[in-house]
Structure 1
């Protein structure tokens, strides 16, 4: 019988790529999510019955145990940017990760891959960074041979980074950025998925890997590159941190007074704290090189999915070619 992997958050941005790759490797895949009916799209990743969405809540022992029973490997992709409510940083990224690892050990699951983030630090400036570090620590307590992946900002067709700002550029003449000088090292989602599969199948040595793409640059320059891809001229305006703090505090307050009916999806105070630190691979850290993976460059991937934000969409390049012909 084919080996079985349980992927928590397997229908999310990164999780779906891991699920697809694990199915291609011949594994049976349980996609553990809170809303299985919204994850039906993962089924065609394999043959009939190979990939199945199942219910699990990472905050509940019983449901986590149910989806881990009989699994040979587990991948935890669950993360959050929620700073209040039931699914807080601590509840999901620390306690939830610890629960998965503890129950995986109790159920005899052989391998675990845990998705963390560059910047995970027990003494970090943000709750997000501290909860990621606590999650790593508690995963290793129960599964000391786990593979922990720390990607920088992840990009790809479903991302909430380049898509978000490209959408803003479509309607606004200005792109305001807080932390414009902060450096990022965007990493392609399928490269991270490949690393996760290597961990789940035992082809990667246990330990922590920091994953960044070949291009490390400032927030501002990444947005300039994105604007070139979507063929739009916009003013990239760097805002001082004090102004960002006023904005973030206002958006956070609005979420509080509306009891969460209006969510702060713009900028939180915790995100602002994270923006004070560069988000790049630490010098000397293990990464793609040790895994034998050549990460994809942004310039090779961004045009494949950002074309829809161009003034003429998919016809932009055709029109540019036609203008060149007329010029001759």
Structure 2
């Protein structure tokens, strides 16, 4: 008898990290069900596999029935859903705690063999950050419902579609200075495809359950990361450090504008909660399990960043040609 092709449901499978996991799972021969709120906006995942191998389906992790439908028949479930900003429709607790627990509980009830949950370094039930507390609550809910689950905690994730280096490179293109909150805070950026590789490894039942913290091979301060970015985009911008107190005041003012405008002017610059997060290092804990236990060698930033940050240079993809022409004129 021919063994059926295994099926994985990836919640948030069209997002930044999720799409890389979907691509890798398809490459490994899995049927991939990409569970998202708006499947019509996720058709780009279909070419990750053969015809019919990767399919977007509708699911809202706040809705019991749609989550159960998305999980039905799956051999493995991966949850990549997370938010950086709460709004009137989605809260940190609703998405990252209650939603995560709902997925794990329904996966266990459906007899799913393997559960992988993407959390974040810094998840802490005692944190003064609502984001960090909700991540910790989500981990606790997943572990309670599905004790054999693997939880992955990445540091700042970088890659072509990231919202970290791309965001600040865009700011460097538009503004004469770059403000820094927590310039001395340490990060351990991790390449998105390495996180995806870890998720695929975690689906393998030979991987021990538990928490794995994922950080790249380099630990750098926020300021050093911005200096690296500015070199790559060929722009000179002063880096101005903002005191934490002033940053909280500015973030609070932006939040107040969002509240008074009933969300019509959303705060996508910086929130008070993000200021709290920037006060703490975001690196792999001493003694934590990580890439080594998963048999993965993490990718250094230098191997990837230039591949997509070149677009923010003064002449974009033509910068090298322009520089060469300028050097020729100087020699003449």
User: Aligned partners of 2:5 and 2:325: how far apart in 1?
Assistant: 53
Q: 1:232 aligns with which of 218, 228, 235?
A: 235
- State the alpha-carbon separation in 2 of the partners of residues 251 and 18 from structure 1: 35
After superposition, give the CA deviation of every residue in 1:36-86 in whole Å (9 maximum; x if it has no partner): 000000000001100000000000110000010100000000001233423
- Pick the aligned partner of 1:167 from 160, 164, 170: 170
Structure 2 counterpart SS, 1:114: strand
TM superposition shift of 1:291:
1.0
1:105 shift after superposition: 0.3
The Cα RMSD (Å) is 1.1
Which shifted more, 68-77 or 194-203?
Answer: 194-203
How is 1:211-290 mapped onto 2 (pairs within 5 angstroms)? 211-290=214-293
| TM-superposed deviation, 1:260 | 1.0
Cα deviation per residue 1:185-205 (whole Å; 9 max; x = unaligned)? Answer: 111000000000111133522
TM score, norm. by length of structure 2 = 0.97
* Residue in structure 1 matched with residue 143 of structure 2 by the alignment: 140
In the alignment, is residue 87 of structure 1 matched against residue 90 of structure 2? Answer: yes
Tell me, in whole angstroms, the C-alpha distance in 2 between the residues paired with 1:56 and 1:68.
10
- How far apart, CA to CA, are the structure 1 residues paired with 2:207 and 2:28? 15
SS in 2 for 1:14: helix
Partner of 1:313: 316
Alignment correspondent of 2:30: 27
SS of residue paired to 2:126? coil
User: 2:13 maps to what in 1?
Assistant: 10
Paired residue for 1:116? 119
1:257-293: CA deviation from partner (whole Å, max 9, x where unpaired): 1111111101111111111111011111111111111
Q: Which moved more, 1:200-209 or 1:26-35?
A: 200-209
Q: What residue number does 1:78 align with?
A: 81
For structure 2, list consecutive stretches of 5 or more residues without a partner in the other structure.
none
Q: Provide the C-alpha distance between the structure 1 equivalents of 2:327 and 2:5, rounded to a whole number of angstroms.
A: 55
Equivalent of residue 150 in structure 1, options 141, 150, 153: 153
SS of corresponding position for 1:124? coil
Q: CA deviation at 1:171?
A: 1.3
Specify which of 302, 323, 328 is matched with residue 299 of structure 1. Answer: 302
Give the aligned partner of residue 195 of structure 1. Answer: 198
Secondary structure of the structure 2 residue equivalent to 1:5? strand
The aligned length equals 328
Alpha carbons of structure 1 residues 306 and 203: separation in structure 2 relative to 1, 3 Å: farther
Inter-partner Cα distance in structure 2 for 1:187 and 1:144? 26
Secondary structure of the residue aligned to 2:90 is: coil
Choose the corresponding residue for 1:43, options 46, 49, 68. Answer: 46
User: What's the secondary structure of 1:87's corresponding residue?
Assistant: coil
Q: Does 1:180 align with 2:183?
A: yes
- Per-residue displacement from partner, 1:285-324 (whole Å, max 9, x unpaired)? 1111111111111111011001110011111122333444
